[in-house]
Structures are given as structure tokens and as C-alpha cells.
Amino acid sequence: MSLADIVGRLNAAERAAGRAEGSVTLIAVSKVQPLERVEAVLAEGHRVFGENYVQEAAGKWPELKERFAGVSVHMIGPLQTNKAKAAVELFDAIHTLDRPSLAQKLARLADARGTCPELFIQVNTGSEPQKAGVLPGDVDGFIADCRGLGLPLSGLMCIPPEDADSTPHFAMLADIAERNGLAGLSMGMSADFAAAVAAGATHVRVGSAIFGARDYR
Ligand SMILES: *Cc1c(COP(=O)(O)O)cnc(C)c1O
């Protein structure tokens, strides 16, 4: 797979869903990938990337942003509250707002800076005990609390359970977003992004299908 293959498949999924080509944002997830692979995708003209770790992103993107104009970097990994300040300085969007303490911290930082990254609330659609995200039953209240803090919410994000059909999870996320008046849906990864587009995804997060397998050694 390559960037061009994935863009082609994404455009086909958009057409099949009766949506305009290019209307879904492709987040190229570059965590743990060698710099050469990331530079190659930048050289092909792609400008939207996803990272999971604040420290890794801090070592990579400030310099790449100077070399390549128009880049935006999205935080898609769990965010510790003590890294929130570094995160708002580094990232254009945060997809993993999942608890009141982080919401309060982000609100304070946004007030002080006068600006805030785009925010997505992560929903644990499968109610998995080990997984981050707000439980489905708590999410309406959490959205209201975030709005009460003045946080600008762009939408919702989910990571469906492994080895399960993603489609019902995408549908649940779309339902929650609709009843709360949220437009953004960050859902779909290498294995299921076409199904996510059919279910209304506005952002898909694709890593290995673009860059190749990750080597965590
Ligand atoms: C790593 C990661 C991805 C990309 O996963 P692939 O299967 O490589 O496409 C997407 N979303 C999140 C939250 C991730 O952590």
C-alpha cells in the first residue's frame, strides 16, 4: 500500500457513500515510523498527520513544520494531564479528550493562550474496561460539561473493539454526535476506513496501510 492507493480507496468509499471526493480528512498516522517514510509522504504532498506520543511528536514535527508548509498534526493517543500544555503547543487537533480533569486543564490553557486545538471527545463505544474514552452513558453529560467550560468541540472519536465488526460502533458514534449537534466524526483505521466513511466519518486515521507495518523495537 501507499499514500496514492489509500487516497484512491478513500475517494472510492466517498463516491460509494454519495459524498464528495476529498470531503473526508485523511490523517496519516506516522507514530513510530522512520523519518524517511514520513518525509516521503510529505514530499508526495500530504499534509495531515497523526501521532500518539507527545514526546515523539515534539522531536519530529516542529522541524518538519518549518520545512513543509501547511502541515497539521493531530494527537490521537492517550493524553496525560501533565502533558496537556506541551500538547496544545504542538498539536492542531486533539482526538482523545476523555475525562473532566483533562477538560479543565485544556480550558485553562485555552484561556491563557487565547486559542485551542480542535477537540474531539473519545468515546469508549464498546465499554471496554482497559480502553480509554468516555462511556456511552456518560457522554451527553461530558459534552455539556465541556461546553460549560467554553471548550470548542469539533466532534467525537472512537476505536472499536479489536476483532469485532466496527459498523455498529461507527453508527453509535454518529448517533451520539447527531443528538449533541457535533459535526466531526473521527473513526476508521487501516482495516475499516471504508466502512467508517459509509457511516459518516469526517476524519479517518490510517497508519500501517500508508506507511507499512510499525516496528516497535
Ligand atoms: C495507531 C492508530 C491508528 C492507525 O492504525 P493503523 O491500523 O495502522 O491504521 C489509528 N488510530 C489510533 C487511535 C491509533 O492509535
pLDDT in tens, 128-178: 999 999 999 999 999 999 999 999 999 999 999 999 999 999 999 999 999
Atom of ligand 1 nearest to the CA of 157: 13
Quote the distance between the C-alpha of residue 84 and its chain's center: 16
Judged against a pLDDT cut of 90, whether residue 93 lies above it is answered with: yes
First-residue to last-residue Cα distance in the chain: 22
Phi and psi angles of residue 96, each rounded to the nearest 5 degrees, phi first:
-125, 35
- Rounded to 10°, the helix 167-179/139-148 angle is 40
* 216 within domain boundaries: no
Judged against a pLDDT cut of 90, whether residue 57 lies above it is answered with: yes
* 204 within domain boundaries: yes
What is the value of pTM for the model shown?
A: 0.97
Please give the Cα distance from 183 to 171 (Å, whole number): 14
* 195 within domain boundaries: yes
Any ligand 1 atom below 6 A from CB of 205: yes
What is the tally of structural domains in the chain?
1
Per-residue pLDDT at 217: 73
Which range of residues forms the domain containing residue 26? Answer: 3-211
* 217 within domain boundaries: no
Any ligand 1 atom below 6 A from CB of 76: yes
Atom of ligand 1 nearest to the CA of 159: 13
Any ligand 1 atom below 6 A from CB of 190: yes
* 152 within domain boundaries: yes
Are residues 96 and 71 in contact, defined by beta-carbon separation less than 8 angstroms?
Answer: no
CATH of the domain at 30: 3.20.20.10
Confidence band for 215, pLDDT divided at 50, 70 and 90: confident
* 125 within domain boundaries: yes
